[in-house]
Amino acid sequence: RLSAAADHLRVYVYAEDEVDGLRALLRGRDGAVSAATCLKGQWGTQVKIHQLLLRSRYRTLDKDEAHLFFVPSYVKCVRMTGALTDKEINQTYVKVLSQMSYFRRSGGRDHIFVFPSGAGAHLFRSWATFLNRSIILTPEGDRTDKRGISAFNTWKDIIIPGNVDDSMVKPDARAVQPIPLTKRKYLANFLGRAQGKVGRLKLVELAKQYPDKLESPELKLSGPDKLGRVDYFKHLRNAKFCLAPRGESSWTLRFYESFFVVSSPFPPKKILSAYLHLASN
């Protein structure tokens, strides 16, 4: 149970029509991108957290009563769908933030933003100027591999998991159930794209050399041979170890997905991930 102090926490959620430009960060320049579209895939946390706070008992409609302010944005989604360009995203964020008097009052310290992909806050090119004091929720804590500086600060920002398919997160009604370790066909598997990365390419090569030990099928992202979600999880559960090596960035959704097909609640020795360090370590 939350402490008495925490029980009085109040969060204000900005409405999409409250600030000129905010709707574009949610729906795109033409307002054509739906929340249902943005809910799909590993970046769906941008929608889920927003929807969760809208119906939370900690939500307040009074800004003067709020301890924290949540700024909704589906910017990863609208960018991926072509509904906003990088330049438009930057200009729109600047426009939105310049109108927020409560943001200016605290220098953004009590405002929360979700950036649900490996790019983190870099999706907003001017983040270092405007969001350097704000609270950022993101799955990526190390984004210096392609950037001069990381947008993640351990003293204020929070690592969140990527969006795992709803059909897999309900303990009593999962689409794919775990199977005992003794009945798993492979020692290990790697279910991902090589992306030209040395470590991943090596796994693909090893899978060809030891097909009875390591499974690494070529994943089809489209067409008749595309691996469906249920089939994907059936593959994932059929090995004793899930290999989740670094790709374009250090985080990988497979790390979190594997939690739902293991035999026990949290067996860290059954899940391997390079360059991913959790507090539980």
Average pLDDT rounded to a whole number, residues 122-134 = 95
Structure tokens at 115: 């950036």
Confidence at residue 3, expressed as pLDDT on a 0 to 100 scale = 55
Per-residue pLDDT at 261: 86
Please tell me the distance from the alpha carbon of residue 160 to that of residue 172, in angstroms, as a whole number. 23
Residue-wise pLDDT for 245-255, tens only, equals 877 777 788 88
Q: At residue 176, does pLDDT exceed 50?
A: yes
C-beta atoms surrounding 106 within 10 Å: 12
The three-state (H, E, C) secondary structure of the chain, written as one string: CCCHHHHCCCEEECCCCCCCCHHHHHHCCCCCCCHHHHCCCCCCHHHHHHHHHHCCCCEECCHHHCCEEECCCCHHHHHHCCCCCHHHHHHHHHHHHHCCHHHHHHCCCCEEEECCCCCHHHHCCCHHHHCCCCEEEECCCCCCCCCCCCCCCCCCCEECCCCCCHHHCCCCCCCCCCCCHHHCCEEEECCCCCCCCHHHHHHHHHHHHCCCCEECCCCCCCCCCCCCHHHHHHHHCCEEEEEECCCCCCCCHHHHHHHHHCCCCCCHHHEEECCCCCCCC
Note whether 273 and 255 are within 8 A (CB). Answer: yes
Residue 199 has pLDDT above 80, yes or no: yes
165 Cβ partners below 8 Å, 6+ apart?
175, 229, 233
- Please report the pLDDT score of residue 5 as a whole number: 58
User: What is the per-residue pLDDT across 8-48, written as a single tens digit (0 to 9) for each?
Assistant: 899 999 999 999 999 999 999 999 999 999 998 888 999 99
**Span 220-279, pLDDT tens digits:** 767 787 888 889 899 999 999 988 887 777 778 888 888 888 754 344 444 555 444 444
Q: Record the tokens describing residue 178, joined without a space.
A: 């775990």
In the chain, % of residues over pLDDT 90: 58
Per-residue pLDDT of 39-78, as tens digits, reads 988 889 999 999 999 999 999 999 999 999 999 999 999 9
Rounded average pLDDT over 200-213: 93
Per the document, the length of the chain is 281
For the cut 90, the answer to whether the pLDDT of residue 7 exceeds it is no
- d(Cα 151, Cα 167) in Å, to the nearest integer? 32
- Contact indicator for 206, 223 with CB cutoff of 8 Å: no
Percent of the chain with pLDDT over 70: 89
97, two tokens: 């933030």
Tokens of 39: 């809910």
- Kindly state the tokens that stand for 237: 């559960």
pLDDT of residue 23: 98
CB-based contact 280:268 (threshold 8 Å): yes
- Token pair in block for residue 159: 């690592």
Q: Is pLDDT larger for residue 262 or for residue 204?
A: 204
Candidate ranges 89-103, 177-191, 263-277; pick with highest mean pLDDT: 89-103
Mean pLDDT, residues 84-103 taken together? 98
The whole-number pLDDT of residue 274 equals 47
Question: In a 10 Å sphere around its CB, with 0-12 CB exposed, 13-18 middle and 19+ buried, how is residue 197 labelled?
Answer: middle
- What local confidence, expressed as pLDDT, does residue 221 receive? 67
Average model confidence (pLDDT) across the chain: 87
Query: What was the pLDDT predicted at 255?
Result: 84
Evaluate the CA torsion angle 166, 75, 142, 108 in order and state its sign: negative
Confidence (pTM): 0.85
pLDDT of 136 > 80? The answer is yes
Q: How far apart are the first and last CA of the chain?
A: 25
Q: Residue 266: count other Cβ atoms within 10 Å of its Cβ.
A: 9
Rg (CA), the chain: 20
